[in-house]
Amino acid sequence: MATQSSVPPIATETFSAESLTKRPRIGEALIQVFLFSCGIISIFTTIGIVIVLAEEAIKFFALPQVTLLEYFTGTKWQPAIGYFGVLPLVLATIMISGIGMVVALPIGLLTAIYLSEYASPRARNILKPLLEVLAGIPTVVYGYFALQFMTPVLRSIFGVQQVQIFNVASAGIVVGILIIPLVTSLSEDALSAVPRSLREAAYALGGTKWETARQIVLPAGLSGVTAAFVVAISRAVGETMIVAIAAGSGPRNFEIGKDSLFGFIFNPFVAGETMTGHMVRISGGDLSYNSVEYLSIFSIGLLLFVMTLILNLIARRIVTKYREVYE
Amino acid sequence: MSDESTTYIAPEPKFGYPAGPKLDQQIKARHRRGQFWYVLLGASLIVSILALIALLYTIVNDAFGLAAVEYKNDPTRLVVEQQEKVMLADRDTVSSEDDRELAAGIMNDPYAIGFFGYAYYQQSSDNLTLLAVDGITPDAGNVEDGTYPLARPLFLYSDARVLENNQAANVFINYYLTHVNEEISDVGYFPLSAGRISQAQQTWKQANALDLPAGQWAAINPDGVGGSLSIAGSSTVYPLTQRMLERIKADGFVGDTSDESVGSTAGYRAFCVDGAADIAAGSRPMNQNEFASCRKIGRLPLEFAVGTDALAIVVSAQNDFLTAVTADELRLIFTTAQKWSDVNPNWPDQPIKRFIPGTDSGTLDFFVETVFPIALDELPQPTLVSILADNVSPGLGRRMESEQRFFADQLVFFSQEQWAEACDGATPYAGCTLPPRAKDSVLQLLNENVTEPNIVAVWKLVPSLLNRAAIEQEALEKYPAASLQFTSWVSTAFLRSPQSSTPELAGVRTAVLGSLWVVAFTALVSFPLGVGAAIYLEEYATDNRLNRLIQTNISNLAGVPSIIYGMLGLAVFVRALEVITSGTAFGAVAAGATANGRTILSASLTLALLILPIIIISGQEALRSVPNSLRQGGMALGATQWQTIWSHVLPSALPGILTGTILSISRALGETAPLVVVGASTFITTDPTGPFAKFTTLPVQIYQWTSRPQPEFQNLAAAAIVVLLILLLSLNATAVLLRNRYARRAA
Amino acid sequence: MTLNSYAQNKHLAVEADKMSVYYGGFRAVKEVSLQIPQKAITALIGPSGCGKSTVLRSFNRMNDLVPTARVEGAIHYHGNNIYAPNVDPVEIRRRIGMVFQKPNPFSKSIYENVAWGARINGYKGNMDELVEASLRQAALWDEVKDKLAESGFSLSGGQQQRLCIARTIAVKPEIILMDEPTSALDPVATLKIEDLIQELKENYTIIIVTHNMQQAARASDFTAFFNMDADRAGYLVEFNETNEIFTNPKHELTEQYITGRFG
Ligand SMILES: Nc1ncnc2c1ncn2[C@@H]1O[C@H](COP(=O)(O)OP(=O)(O)O)[C@@H](O)[C@H]1O
Ligand SMILES: [Mg+2]
């Protein structure tokens, strides 16, 4: 067959066997190395945090005036005159996180149930961005809110005599408000992940909406909800600006037996500096390297890091271990 | 089964289960329980919404509101004095306290112009032409209702105690209020309406504790009344008072009277400070400072309006080119213009001859206040500089000029020789090399050194709006020397001014610039690293131990409290890497010398580490949402993996990546604690100059202001929060726009 | 026995009357009229997407859970339209239970899976007995009696499905809807369920959607055949005793379908 085609013949010589062998691509390799280093930076960050905190904390505990026993059992934190008991700071942190949880857990969880089980798609489209707004407000603004709004409100309810200007309660409540969106969105994710078939089964047995939500969906999403709570606690423990502004700037040193338990030591209306609040205040001033104060905040930082890390690991573990596997 | 609507129920009862009416009840109870919880769910949602509302309310309530401000030097007064000085300094200007002299001067010169009280115009109206201002020629109607721009009220002031003790003064005011409208037109002013006269009469009746019905007047016959009476004040009111004195004496008044034409200000001083005058006459209302002085000597001024004056702008009857002027033309005519043609090319090329009253009469003040802008920041820079020069000591002035010059081509406090000598010397002034000051800087110097405002009390927005009267009362009692101003703490001045220890002068300029620098560098560092890590994890990483560790580690890092990052930054970037972060390694010593590693660079690196996990995680999500077919398509064309990622995967993941990045940058923008730890400066007033400069940021600034005990700083904090939230909002809006655009393209 | 004679002797359990179902603007089911006899097994067959599940779910108002779904026409149940505005869907579902395509046990113990529905519905008798009886009826008792406290997820797929059936019969419904209950199971498990369904017929009306022609032929008393029209709206082609449908279909489409020529 004679073809009159003007198409040029295929240049067969470019397909020599040689060209099919693997060629080193320097550019590609370099890029991969760069990308890998980007990924590995996060490991270095973690290592950096651990080394920095541990190094300075070890220096701190090596100081002659500091003992580990006093650190964890002492009830006074006054580095200037040689008291190094971290308990007052830890106690304030726990109280504020506790109050925050009391506010955030029920509200956050109920809101999550509302959003995942009750809200129409339209209501959800309005409400979720609103919660995002709440979550996007910087914490320093919440601190201002605690001092300028929550404290006056508490004082007008419980009396100016009872409630100090700087107090644990208003900081705790506002920390709670701050983490509501976090609790809500994590819990809602957990609830929404419960398959629809489970709800249908409950309805088919004659369950009402609330019975289904409370007794079927919530238990099914419980691991996610619990993890959300733990993450929220970790967030509350690490929260800084609200407590730095509103909770008071001085550790609530106490003496067991001498100070009244609920009138002072656990009184939410009295000022009490937290671990984070103390760290910000001390580092905001003039801080000379290797001074006792400088080293002491690293010891507190290490403690804080360990606490939040443990909480985050617990949360992760709950999620991976107890998650029900739905097809 | 009581309910008709539920009769479909299956007839056969089921063993063990409620049936019939019991079943109905059981189901109803369950629904009720559900409804109770439903309400609770809604309520919990409302708590969040209420919290958001309360938060915004608190901020707005503090960012705006009334403030009582005391000035060391009243800015209005400064401006008026300055303008007057400029007007009087002109050599073609004749100034006299004697209005007759002014009238005579204008009459004979076709190129003369001047102004004085309407009364004097009337006396020579044949030889003068009255000009319309902004199209309005003064007459009784437009003068009293204030449409004629150059009209002003005339007042007498006295005090209830004075009137009680001084019969002559009491009777004279009574007589004044009875007969002033019979004389005033003849003197050359405009009579008050009956309503306003009777208002003044009401004041007199109250001072005399006369309980007469409104509108009823108790004229006193002055025949035989005697005593001594001293009046001082406005030269404008003077002729009217003279006329009233003549008339009362004709009616048998036998008192000993003195009436001095010293100007309103001097008259009020005589009444309020010295207490020498029994009655003060004025052509402007008493201001708050004068009120306050009066109160100090136990006098509570009573105000009696007696008439209205209008300033007459006049030219000679021989003038053939002017019948009307505008306010703008007036400003030119009485200040910079030399010739008539400078103002309007149609007017003759002849020098302007100006005739104006002297500084003691209220007339000049009134003219300046009405015709010229009197807010300091509306004045041109040269005027501001001359106000400054008039009000600070030469030593202070020289210091300001040595820091930064006022003009490029002219010296204010130095002589040319002194300046040249200093600049050629061993330690030249900063001002030798810096460009001249901007207007803002001059304004700031004026505020700090001359007007020196001092806020003595602040009120929140809601009471300011709802209880204004009570607040005014309170301010008058507690802070008599202060003026009450509605203040928006967020203002252009607030945005333009640097940090200051005086709350009324403080602004967020350095903080905003600091935030922008820090955030820009943070983005510069974290974006490529974060996206790189995301690409590695999504596109390259195989499922091995190391990569799983990286992935787990990233999500753990996202949960580390931000203050811990601050400690990392402090120990690593500020301390260990000081030579790099302070810039000394690069020879950038000038900026870094005092920063000690506590620089914008350190802050940015710290924040970059902080937001890296968030960028990586959102980047991974964006990459994961790119369909695999795209990758396969690219590979099938013989592209390498990186070529495929670069030209196919990344572009379609980019909007998602950018959205995540912007959101994490807004997190960085609001971050406070790590920056405090890394060592944000507590007080800097100069703009950051680069990565090695000391810095403060907006949130840090808010934190510092919030921690101050004085209430004004809370207002500043609120204002700064407004600025911060607006910045964040615009960032987030960008993210939303990106997301929507992405969604549209994907659809 | 013809359908009519059967219907005359036995009562109807539930009846669809010119029912159409819409998802948003899309009409998924068009004017279906169907009389389901009591205490018998009725199979719904037809090509995929013709609306079998939709029809089935209409019988206990399961479609209420789909926000876009809307039902026109009526479903009569003991003389009442279950779509009348004053009818409470919770009461309907309590009486008309459902078993789903994929086994969906609750994330609770085996015991609680069975007891939950009884508890919320106010069961007053002995719960242990009810659980045992239900599990026995579902032919699961022997396999789980030693591990009642374990999670329902610990069971195999077939056991899970029988657990779901046990859970449904524990609340003693009148009708049980089954949507392809064996399609996710292996043949051995399927056989057990099929046997179970036969036993349940003694006490319950069963409506079952099935894909499997043999299952329909073997295990049902009546069969309804559905098809789609050009608008993809499902409609009822033919309803009759199963024997009739499979041996003597009135409709050409039915014949084509059961002989596997389409669908
Ligand atoms: N929740 C829903 N939303 C919208 N359309 C649906 C929904 N469920 C089913 N459909 C549609 O209704 C039609 C019938 O579906 P279905 O009843 O599931 O069919 P079958 O069970 O016969 O396969 C199909 O076209 C399907 O796409
Ligand atoms: Mg189906």
Helices marked H in B301-438:
327-333, 340-343, 362-371, 381-391, 394-403, 416-424
- Asked if residue B186 belongs to a domain, the reply is yes
Residue B707 lies in a domain: yes
Q: Calculate the average pLDDT of chain A.
A: 88
Shared domain for B436 and B533, answered yes or no, is no
What percent of chain A is modeled with pLDDT above 70?
A: 91
Q: Which of B52-66, B77-91, B95-109, B222-236 is most confident? A: B52-66
DSSP 8-class letter at B693: S
Q: Do B576 and B711 reside in the same domain of the chain?
A: yes
B22 inside domain: no
Separation between Cα atoms, residue A133 and residue B199, nearest integer Å: 56
- Which candidate in A117, A205, A218 is best for mutational testing of the C interface (most C CBs within 10 A)? A205
According to the model, what pLDDT value does residue B610 have?
95
- B289, B309, B329 - which closes a domain: B309
Give B69's pLDDT tier (boundaries 50, 70, 90): confident
- The whole-number pLDDT of residue A2 equals 45
B28 within some domain? no
Confidence of residue C10 (pLDDT cuts 50, 70, 90): low
Which residues have their alpha-adjacent CB atom under 5 A from ion ligand 2? Answer: C 53
Among C94, C131, C132, C174, the residue to mutate for chain B (most B Cβ within 10 A): C94
**Contact check, Cβ <8 Å, C123/B16:** yes
- Condensed to tens digits (0 to 9), the pLDDT of residues A246-297 reads 998 888 888 887 888 788 888 999 999 999 999 999 888 777 888 888 899 9
Q: What is the pLDDT of residue B693?
A: 84
Q: Do the Cβ atoms of C117 and A205 come within 8 Å? A: yes
C-alpha atoms less than 13 angstroms from C-alpha of B8 in its C-beta half-sphere? 20
What residues contact residue B627 under an 8 Å CB cut-off, 6+ apart?
none
Out of C19, C21, C22, C23, mutate this one to test ligand 1's pocket (max ligand atoms within 8 Å of CB): namely C23
Res B443 pLDDT > 50: yes
Contact C15, C79 (CB under 8 A): no
> What order do you get walking across the sheet with C26-37 strand by strand?
C80-81, C69-77, C12-23, C26-37, C234-241, C222-228, C41-45, C205-209, C175-179, C96-99
- Per DSSP, A81 falls in state G
Q: Both B620 and B697 in a single domain?
A: yes
Q: Answer whether C57's CB lies under 8 Å from C63's CB.
A: yes
A206: left (phi over 0), alpha (psi -120 to 50) or beta: left
Tens digits of pLDDT across chain A (327 residues): 444 545 555 555 555 555 666 666 788 888 989 999 999 999 999 999 999 999 999 999 998 888 888 889 888 898 888 888 999 999 999 999 999 999 999 999 999 999 999 998 899 888 888 888 888 899 999 999 999 999 999 999 999 999 999 999 999 999 999 999 999 999 999 999 999 999 999 999 999 999 999 999 999 999 999 999 999 999 999 999 999 999 988 888 888 878 887 888 889 999 999 999 999 998 887 778 888 888 999 999 999 999 999 999 998 888 887 765 554
The answer, yes or no, to whether residue B244 has pLDDT greater than 90, is: yes
In a domain, B359, yes or no: yes
Residues B356 and B264 in one domain: no
Residue B49 lies in a domain: no
Judge whether B668 lies within some domain: yes
For residues B304 and B319, membership in a common domain is answered with no
Q: In B3-139, which ranges are continuous DSSP H helix?
A: 21-63, 75-89, 99-107, 118-123
Of C30, C44, C50, C54, best ligand 1 pocket probe by most atoms within 8 Å of the beta carbon:
C54
**Are both B547 and B686 inside the same structural domain?**
yes
Nearest to C122 among B10, B15, B17 (CB): B17
- What DSSP designation does C94 have? H
Helix H or strand E segment including A113: helix A87-113
d(Cα B128, Cα B313) in Å, to the nearest integer? 10
Quick: pLDDT tens for C160-218.
999 999 999 999 999 999 999 988 888 888 898 899 999 899 889 999 999 888 888 98
Q: Give the range with max mean pLDDT: A182-191, B177-186, B288-297, B309-318.
A: A182-191
Nearest ligand to the CA atom of C47 = 1
Alpha helix positions (H), A114-195: 121-136, 139-145, 151-158, 168-192
- CA–CA separation, A234 and B559 (whole Å): 8
Rounded to an integer, the average pLDDT of B716-736 is 91
Q: Could B44 and A138 be called an inter-chain contact, meaning their C-beta atoms sit closer than 8 Å?
A: no
Select from B273, B290, B309 the last residue of a domain. B309
Ligand 1: nearest atom to the Cα of C209: 21
Flag if B27 and C124 touch (Cβ within 8 Å): no
Residue B416 structural domain = 377-495
- Is any ligand 1 atom within 6 A of the Cβ of residue C30? no
Residue B433: alpha-carbon gap to chain centroid: 32
Q: Give the SS3 label for residue B599.
A: coil
CA distance C36 to C23: 24
Number of compact structural domains in chain B: 4
Please report whether residue B38 resides in a domain: no
Q: How close are the terminal C-alpha atoms of chain A, in Å?
A: 61
- Tell me the per-residue pLDDT of C221-252, one tens digit each, with 9 for 90 and over: 999 999 999 889 999 999 999 999 999 999 98
Considering the domain architecture, whether residues B444 and B563 belong to the same structural domain is answered as: no
What are the b/e assignments for C140-174, b being 16+ CB within 10 Å? bbebbeeebeebbeebeebbbbbbbbbbbbbbbbb
Hey, what amino acid is at B107?
A: M
Do B227 and B168 fall into the same domain?
yes
Q: How many CB pairs under 8 A join B and C?
A: 52
Contact (Cβ atoms closer than 8 angstroms) between residue B222 and residue B245: no
Q: For C101-124, how does the pLDDT look when each residue is reduced to its tens digit (9 = 90+)?
A: 999 999 899 999 999 999 999 998
More confidently predicted of B155 and B478: B155
DSSP string, B541-566: --SSHHHHHHHHHHHHHTTS-HHHHH
Residue B549 has a pLDDT of 92
Same domain flag for B304 and B316 = no
Contact residues, chain B, for A110 at CB < 8 Å = 40-41, 43-45
Concatenated DSSP letters of B422-468: HHHSSS--GGGTSPPPPHHHHHHHHIIIII--EEEEE--HHHHHH-H
- CATH number of residue B674's parent domain: 1.10.3720.10
Same domain, B601 and B634: yes
Helix (H) or strand (E) holding A27: helix A26-62
Q: What is the mean pLDDT of residues B99-115?
A: 85
Contacts of C77 in chain B (CB under 8 A): 8
d(CA C24, CA C12): 31
Tell me: do B630 and B706 sit in the same domain.
yes
Q: Where are the domains of chain A?
A: 68-322
Minimum CA distance residue for ligand 1 atom 24: C49
User: Chain centroid to CA B628: how far?
Assistant: 57
Final residue belonging to a domain, choices B259, B288, B309 = B309
Q: Quote the crossing angle between the two packed helices B600-624 and A26-62, to the nearest 10°.
A: 130
Contact between B489 and B720 under an 8 Å Cβ cutoff? The reply is no
B105 plus B168 within the same structural domain: no
**Which class in CATH covers the domain with range A68-322?**
mainly alpha
